[in-house]
Amino acid sequence: MTTPSEKLRHFASDNYAGLCPEAWDALVEANHHHTPSYGDDPWTSKAADLIRDVFETDCEVFFVFNGTAANSLALASLCQSYHSIICQDTAHVETDECGAPEFFSNGTKVLLVPGPDGKLEPASIERLVKRRTDIHFPKPKAVSLTQATELGTVYSLDELTAIGQCASKLGLRVHMDGARFANAVASLGVAPKQLAWEAGIDVLCLGGTKNGGAVGEAVVFFNRDLAYEFDYRCKQAGQLASKMRFLSAPWVGMLKDGAWLRHAAHANQMAARLAQGIRALPGVPILFPPQANSVFVQLPTPLVDALHQRGWRFYTFIGQGGCRLMCSWDTTEQDVDGLVSDLRELATGA
């Protein structure tokens, strides 16, 4: 299948990568016996328990097929149709979910605010909420933020806490798109709960797929009241897996001995190595502080074409332009050094 210039691993997305061994082994193990369906099985309850252990609290946990469904259904459970959701310009819920948050909430409007490095700031949230308080405007009810952000940056604890406090003051609920939450935890080296309920997050969409899972994200309600009838919402949306154990078993494999954090830390380290290599090259500016597992660079079109010709794949449409170089749980030092070496040769002729 692979042509000579085709690489084994790419920098396109962390969802290009396969399953990590821990997820794979758990799937194999879950395949041995007949097991009750629709989540009424030991794998699913074990996975939910492990998530409660990770966050050190008694949260409500649901497993759905992907991040779009997780975000949309979580947001729908925070809002009525006449409400609005505030997020940053580059948020996945705005740019990459085909209107699903609006669809599943029966029309709740997503409102955008700008912010540096893919982040929301309390002042701009407050400005938006206070600009209009009349009956003609869709009433702001939720803030949605992404950790790590779409631009490979990470909200610090202080930044998160400030947003949590601002939201609480303004009567807003807080949703976190955590497709790369593990990378943020690994980057900051803090306890998961500090980036979650302690910072005022009501519901977290916890990503598994991009961190070495096969399929499936967890919706984690720290505010348990908001999980009311969420199971019906999932079923109606076509998100209740009948063989649920194949969504949940990989979580058990990845959570039980901390593989989820090891893999995220490794992906982050590979991005840091890549950034270090790129900084040594003239004329290849890095666009945002690389704090998680991606590096955004500005490359002239001929250089992009030349890299593509050498078999490297990466995205050029994410965020505010530039090329996104994304590392995964299985990215190797050789992959990174190979890309840097090709970049050096093409950019400098050396």
Ligand X SMILES: *Cc1c(COP(=O)(O)O)cnc(C)c1O
Binding residues for ligand X, rule: CB under 6 A, are 66-68, 92, 146, 150, 177, 179, 209-210
Report the alpha-carbon distance of residue 144 to residue 249 in Å, rounded.
28
CB of 154 to ligand X, least distance (A): 13
Report the alpha-carbon distance of residue 344 to residue 153 in Å, rounded.
25
The answer to whether 281 and 293 have CB atoms below 8 angstroms apart is no
Comparing CB distances to ligand X, the nearer of 22 and 217 is 217
CB of 36 to ligand X, least distance (A): 26
CB of 10 to ligand X, least distance (A): 15
CB of 200 to ligand X, least distance (A): 20
The answer to whether 248 and 63 have CB atoms below 8 angstroms apart is yes
Comparing CB distances to ligand X, the nearer of 181 and 221 is 181
CB of 177 to ligand X, least distance (A): 5
Alpha helices in the chain (DSSP H): 21-30, 42-55, 67-76, 92-95, 100-104, 122-131, 157-170, 181-188, 230-236, 245-255, 259-279, 301-309, 333-348
Task: Classify the C-alpha dihedral 47-53-54-56 as positive or negative.
Answer: positive
Show Cβ contacts of residue 316 under 8 Å, excluding neighbours closer than 6 positions.
Answer: 304, 322, 323, 324
CB of 205 to ligand X, least distance (A): 7
Q: Please give the residue whose beta carbon sits closest to ligand X in the complex.
A: 67
Comparing CB distances to ligand X, the nearer of 137 and 315 is 315
Comparing CB distances to ligand X, the nearer of 69 and 340 is 69
Report the alpha-carbon distance of residue 126 to residue 90 in Å, rounded.
19
Comparing CB distances to ligand X, the nearer of 29 and 89 is 89
Comparing CB distances to ligand X, the nearer of 155 and 346 is 155
Task: Classify the C-alpha dihedral 306-312-316-317 as positive or negative.
Answer: positive
- Strands 83-88 and 139-146 come out as parallel
Comparing CB distances to ligand X, the nearer of 129 and 292 is 292
CB of 144 to ligand X, least distance (A): 10
Residue matched to tokens 């399929």: 215
- Which amino acid type is present at position 156? S
